[in-house]
Amino acid sequence: MGSSIILDMDISVVIPLYNEDESLPELHDWIVRVMKANNFSYEIIFVDDGSKDKSWQVIEQLSSSNPAVKGIKFRRNYGKSAALNTGFEVASGNVVITMDADLQDSPEEIPDLYKLIAKDGYDLISGWKEKRYDPITKTIPTKLFNWATRKMSGIELHDFNCGLKSYRHDVVKSIEVYGEMHRYIPVIAKRAGFTKIGEKSVAHQARKYGTTKFGLERFINGFLDLLSISFVTKFGRRPMHFFGLIGTLMFMIGFFAAAYLGIEKLWIVYVSKGIAPRITDSAWFFISLTTMIIGTQLFLAGFLAELIARNSADRNNYLIEKRIGEGIG
């Protein structure tokens, strides 16, 4: 998809939510005030992730009074990634801004986030909550999580998990957010070729209504997701380069170790004329044999993964930014 596409609408605000009926009217009114003050054309897309309260009724009321409000309701709770991905599919603004529904993200940040994308040419801007109104049980794991993500992804952001982000239209139409990967949207975007990624310090407000929907288990899941996205980014289209390399190395190490034991016994028996113990009496023989077996299994795993990758529907699904020349496109 080319970067020169200009749409009629300035901003799409995508808001995933779960049981936030108290905060929605205030958030809506705040967003509308900001949009009118800056003369933005806009739409607000609420994605109700299977709420059990009156969130959907509130969205219906807001939509009846404001045509710019759109709503999507899931039959059950699928998670934030599913809500964001669905919102991205229907967003039609030149700039797409995401924020949480709990009023901890300030709509006053919208004009600057829009400018960084529309005027300064960034692909993605991630919010950075320098001063957080969260308990220490949340802030310390968050710092560790962000540090690990920076090291593994090579993207220098302070706060990967901040819900307040802005995107160029092409970005949200070119990526897929699934599982619990909403934490790694900058990593996914970079993988898709959108490398102009920046951040902006944003205000963080104390939660006004309700309680947080996230527990400490999200950090464990986040680390596992980080390993997953890092592997897929590097070896998703060439799994044999990972499994085959490690498998071959392990097999060779085991093979040469076993060969050394055999040569050592032959030397003792035929050259030194001594009595050599049986090779199977040595623990190193079984370690070598196990290493060879594991190496063979890893190689076969890489071979099977390569077959699957080569037959997948998106094996040649490459993102083309621009075209030139008659008959191209």
State whether residue 44 is helix, strand or coil.
strand
Global confidence as pTM: 0.70
| Contact (Cβ atoms closer than 8 angstroms) between residue 321 and residue 5 | no
Residue with tokens 């104390």: 206
* DSSP conformational letter for 269: I
- Any long-range contacts for 246-251 (C-beta under 8 Å, 24+ apart)? 246/295, 246/298, 247/294, 247/295, 247/296, 247/297, 247/298, 247/299, 247/300, 247/301, 247/302, 248/295, 248/299, 249/295, 250/291, 250/292, 250/294, 250/295, 250/298, 251/291, 251/292, 251/295, 251/296, 251/299
Transcribe 171-184 into DSSP letters.
HHHH----TTGGGG
| pLDDT given at position 255 | 93
C-alpha 148/C-alpha 152 separation (Å) is: 6
From the number of C-beta atoms within 10 Å of its C-beta (0-12, 13-18, 19+), residue 152 rates as middle
Segments in the chain below pLDDT 70: 1-6, 132-141, 206-237, 309-329
C-alpha 170/C-alpha 320 separation (Å) is: 11
| pLDDT given at position 262 | 87
| pLDDT given at position 19 | 92
| pLDDT given at position 316 | 45
| pLDDT given at position 292 | 94
Q: In terms of Cα–Cα distance, which of 9, 48, 13, 11 is closest to 27? A: 13
| Contact (Cβ atoms closer than 8 angstroms) between residue 103 and residue 207 | yes
| Contact (Cβ atoms closer than 8 angstroms) between residue 125 and residue 99 | no
C-alpha 72/C-alpha 83 separation (Å) is: 9
Transcribe 46-75 into DSSP letters.
EEE-S-SSSHHHHHHHHHHH-TTEEEEE-S
Partner residues linked to 96 by β-bridges: 12, 167
Side-chain-facing half-sphere of 83: CA atoms under 13 Å? 28
CATH number assigned to the domain covering 9-235: 3.90.550.10
Q: Give domain limits for the chain.
A: 9-235, 240-310
| pLDDT given at position 130 | 76
| pLDDT given at position 265 | 83
Q: In terms of Cα–Cα distance, which of 168, 132, 173 is closest to 11? A: 168
| pLDDT given at position 318 | 47
| pLDDT given at position 65 | 94
Partner residues linked to 12 by β-bridges: 43, 96
| pLDDT given at position 1 | 42
| pLDDT given at position 2 | 43
